[in-house]
Amino acid sequence: MTQINLSELTELQAINKKLVSGYHISEQDTTLWQQLDQNIDAYQALFSALGHDLQHDGRGFYYLASDESTPNMGKISRAIALTVFILIEYYANQGKDPLRALFDETADLELMQTLVQLNKHLFDQLEIFSGSDLRKDVYLRMVRLGLAKEVEQGFMHLAPIYRYIDALMEVNEDSFDGLEDEV
């Protein structure tokens, strides 16, 4: 059992508040990330005792894993996943390395409008009808969850977006496996 010295967990209140709200703490959250990184065993033991599963992803972020999902969170997750998938497809169709572009390029209002227009039938199902809707309903939520940060020209994706990429890859793999079984 890990010995927890609460006096060493100087950012416990801020970390707890962020994580229980669904926020992903990444390297851009310097103070909180360093505190978690330096005291990971104590934080994991403490969160476990509180009924939470604190996860550290080696790509540079921490989050609380959750099996429960609210209907609203499901809609938000679907909108984020769809946006990530469409962005990857969009960058690949542009002849760019999709992952590099996802993290290096700014998602501005013009790009958001283009994505919505090119994929109107998909975004309509999520009641996203314009680039402004995408900004308001998806990107601002991504900022609140620590998946993106707002910059002067738009939004930059952060490392926690890999959780959605991993899920998309898993769905793709499951679909491919299903096709193989049918052949």
Q: How confident is the model at residue 170 (pLDDT cuts 50, 70, 90)?
A: confident
- Cα 28 to Cα 61: distance, rounded to the nearest angstrom: 9
The structure's pTM equals 0.87
For the domain covering 6-65, report its CATH number. Answer: 1.10.10.2250
What does the pLDDT read at residue 67? Answer: 64
Q: How confident is the model at residue 179 (pLDDT cuts 50, 70, 90)?
A: very low
The structure tokens 């020209």 sit at 153
Q: How confident is the model at residue 127 (pLDDT cuts 50, 70, 90)?
A: very high
**Above 70 in pLDDT, residue 65?**
yes
What does the pLDDT read at residue 175? Answer: 54
Break the chain into its structural domains and give their ranges. Answer: 6-65, 75-176
Average pLDDT (126-137) is: 96
- Cα 82 to Cα 85: distance, rounded to the nearest angstrom: 5
- Cα 96 to Cα 111: distance, rounded to the nearest angstrom: 15
DSSP class per residue in the chain: -----GGG-TTHHHHHHHHHTTPPEETTSHHHHHHHHHTHHHHHHHHHHTT-EEEEETTTEEEEE-S---HHHHHHHHHHHHHHHHHHHHHHHTTS-HHHHHHHS-B-HHHHHHHHHHTHHHHHHTT--SHHHHIIIIIHHHHHTTSEEEETTEEEE-GGGHHHHHHHHHHHHHHHHHHHHH-
Taking only Cα atoms into account, the Rg of the chain, rounded to an integer number of angstroms, comes to 18
**Above 80 in pLDDT, residue 102?**
yes
Q: Which of 50-59, 66-75, 88-97 has the lowest mean pLDDT?
A: 66-75
Q: How confident is the model at residue 154 (pLDDT cuts 50, 70, 90)?
A: very high
Higher pLDDT, 67 or 43: 43
**Above 90 in pLDDT, residue 57?**
yes
Higher pLDDT, 7 or 117: 117
**Above 80 in pLDDT, residue 68?**
no
Average pLDDT (20-34) is: 96
What does the pLDDT read at residue 183? Answer: 47
The token pair that represents 51 in the structure block: 């009924």
